[in-house]
Amino acid sequence: MVSPAAVHVIGSDAEAIDVAAGLSARLAGGAAERDLGRRLPDAELAELAASGLLGITVPRAHGGPGVSTRTLCAVIRLLSSGDGSIGQIPQNHFFCLDAVRESGGAGQLAFFYRLVLQGARFGNALINTRQPDGPAGSTTIEPDPEGGYLITGAKSYATGALSADWVPVAATDADDRVHTVFIPRDAPGLVVVDDWDGFGQRTTASGSAILGAVHADADWVIPTWKSFEYPNTFRAFTQLIHAAIDIGIAEGALRAAAGYLNSYARSQPGGGAEPAREDPVVIHHFGELTVLVRSARALLEQAADVVDEARAGLAEPGLAPEAAARWEAEANVAMAAARAHADRVTVQAASEWFELAGASAARRPLGLDRYWRDVRTHTLHDPRRKRVSEVGDYSLNDVFPQRGWGRARAGRPAPAG
């Protein structure tokens, strides 16, 4: 953990965006080299923690700026445009911090918010290891005879856990209820393995975590299962961040593409003699790709505003259950639409611009392929078809999307017949 004295506390939405823009530019300078050599970004993550960006969702009542969801998405988008791997790592940090906001007690809020404002970074160990035919097991939480709890199991895709200060773990109790358990990175029995070998997002260190009866204090256990039982914005807020990552990577790809095409003296072999940047075909195609990415960004920002509107609406006293469920559904549908659109157009943009440049742009030392590899890998996070179906079922049949991680369903069921 960085020294708390070295951590800046951001004071406003505007400052958060300014800090993220500056950090993004610095990250971009070494992103290709880190990707080529798979050099994990320890120094860069320390700079991220010291910047204060990890604390921007802490409410003002607890000393943070309490930025809007639109601002958080802008910050993640900017970081991802500089380095897609570094942009992805804080997603789980903010996911787990929102789990505390949604289901933590007053003492837990004060404790974890203070940690974050001092520069602590949360990794994750949320996904149980799986085999091609289904889950390979579950991670359990049970009382420790000596006090607190014991956590046992194995996780995959533990993004950010390798170098985090705390590793939040999703664990299921004897009543099949899910808890988020915050465990110090150096806790005895916790082993994080650097075995991620994906062709994209190479420096996220999204490896495995093994927990052999790891002790957790009672105050470190968040009853996340409670958020499955009432309308809320937890799913919409935390999942929307993924769209921001993808859009940021695509924006970085188009920025790099523009730099490459502007330096290219001729258009494609067999084309005209004019520079590539003056070729009408190049200009038109590049414009089409830019329109797609800008539309994804606009949909992201609109969805972020819906999430904040829903959060405010759900906080209204005396809100009727049907109205609360509707607010949650609107937030989830807005998130699903933004993610579905971003999934498709960001992969397209990061890939198709190469058609304007030719084979020379594919040279390995340039590292321009990393944008496609990163966004293609990250958009596999969960199925696009599921999000499109949620939007369609809500729009056509007024069926509300699922709540949480699929253990409960919000709103009215599908109509009979």
Q: What are phi and psi of 143, to 5 degrees?
A: -60, 140
pLDDT of residue 205: 92
Evaluate if residue 228 carries a pLDDT over 70.
Answer: yes
Q: How confident is the model at residue 415 (pLDDT cuts 50, 70, 90)?
A: very low
Which DSSP string corresponds to 136-191?
----EEEE-TTSSEEEEEEEE--TT-TT-SEEEEEEE-TTS-EEEEEEETT-TTEE
Please say whether the beta carbons of 79 and 26 come within 8 A: no
Evaluate if residue 133 carries a pLDDT over 70.
Answer: no
pTM: 0.94
Percent of the chain with pLDDT over 90: 86
CA-derived radius of gyration, the chain: 22
- Do 236 and 189 belong to one domain? no
CA–CA separation, 251 and 80 (whole Å): 9
Identify whether 336 is part of a domain. Answer: yes
- Do 217 and 245 belong to one domain? no
- Do 61 and 200 belong to one domain? no
- Do 78 and 201 belong to one domain? no
- Do 100 and 145 belong to one domain? no
- Do 183 and 203 belong to one domain? yes
Using alpha carbons, list the distances in angstroms from residue 315 to 256, 260, 297, 309.
43, 49, 27, 10
- Do 198 and 330 belong to one domain? no
Identify whether 258 is part of a domain. Answer: yes
- Do 137 and 267 belong to one domain? no
Looking at the chain, the number of H-run helices and the number of E-run strands are 10, 12
**Residue 331: helix, strand or coil by DSSP?**
helix
**End of a domain among 224, 251, 279?**
224
pLDDT of residue 412: 43
Evaluate if residue 58 carries a pLDDT over 80.
Answer: yes
| Per-state percent for the chain, helix, strand, coil, to nearest 5 | 55, 15, 30
Cα dihedral value 67, 321, 96, 54, nearest 10: 0
Evaluate if residue 130 carries a pLDDT over 80.
Answer: no
Using alpha carbons, list the distances in angstroms from residue 331 to 96, 154, 157, 307.
19, 32, 26, 5
Counting Cα atoms < 13 Å in the Cβ hemisphere of 325 gives 16
pLDDT tens digits for 78-94? Answer: 999 999 999 999 999 99
Please say whether the beta carbons of 86 and 36 come within 8 A: no
Which DSSP string corresponds to 246-291?
HHHHHHHHHHHHHHHHHT-SS-STTS-SS-GGG-HHHHHHHHHHHH
CA–CA separation, 386 and 144 (whole Å): 39
Single-letter amino acid, residue 70? R
Identify whether 416 is part of a domain. Answer: no
pLDDT of residue 405: 66
Domain span at residue 188 reads: 127-224
Evaluate if residue 410 carries a pLDDT over 90.
Answer: no
Identify whether 244 is part of a domain. Answer: yes
Mean pLDDT score, 19-41: 97
Identify whether 414 is part of a domain. Answer: no
Q: Which CATH number covers residue 48?
A: 1.10.540.10
pLDDT tens digits for 11-27? Answer: 999 999 999 999 999 99
Identify whether 75 is part of a domain. Answer: yes
Please say whether the beta carbons of 238 and 417 come within 8 A: no
Which tokens go with 233? 């914005």
Q: How confident is the model at residue 379 (pLDDT cuts 50, 70, 90)?
A: very high
Average pLDDT for the chain: 93
**End of a domain among 197, 224, 251?**
224
Evaluate if residue 413 carries a pLDDT over 50.
Answer: no
Tokens 């937030």, located at residue: 331
CA–CA separation, 113 and 97 (whole Å): 8
- Do 173 and 215 belong to one domain? yes
Evaluate if residue 162 carries a pLDDT over 70.
Answer: yes
- Do 234 and 351 belong to one domain? yes
DSSP 412: P
CA–CA separation, 273 and 206 (whole Å): 46
pLDDT tens digits for 249-268? Answer: 999 999 999 999 998 756 55
- Do 240 and 340 belong to one domain? yes
**End of a domain among 192, 224, 256?**
224
Number of domains within the chain: 3
Evaluate if residue 110 carries a pLDDT over 70.
Answer: yes
Q: Which CATH number covers residue 177?
A: 2.40.110.10
User: 178-184 and 221-222: which strand pairing?
Assistant: antiparallel
Give per-residue burial for 194-207: e unless 16+ CB within 10 Å, then b.
Answer: eebeeebbbbbbbb
Single-letter amino acid, residue 11? G
CB atoms near residue 212 (< 10 Å): 13
pLDDT of residue 277: 85
- Do 142 and 260 belong to one domain? no
pLDDT of residue 408: 34
**Alpha carbon distance, N-terminus to C-terminus of the chain:** 57
Q: Which CATH number covers residue 236?
A: 1.20.140.10
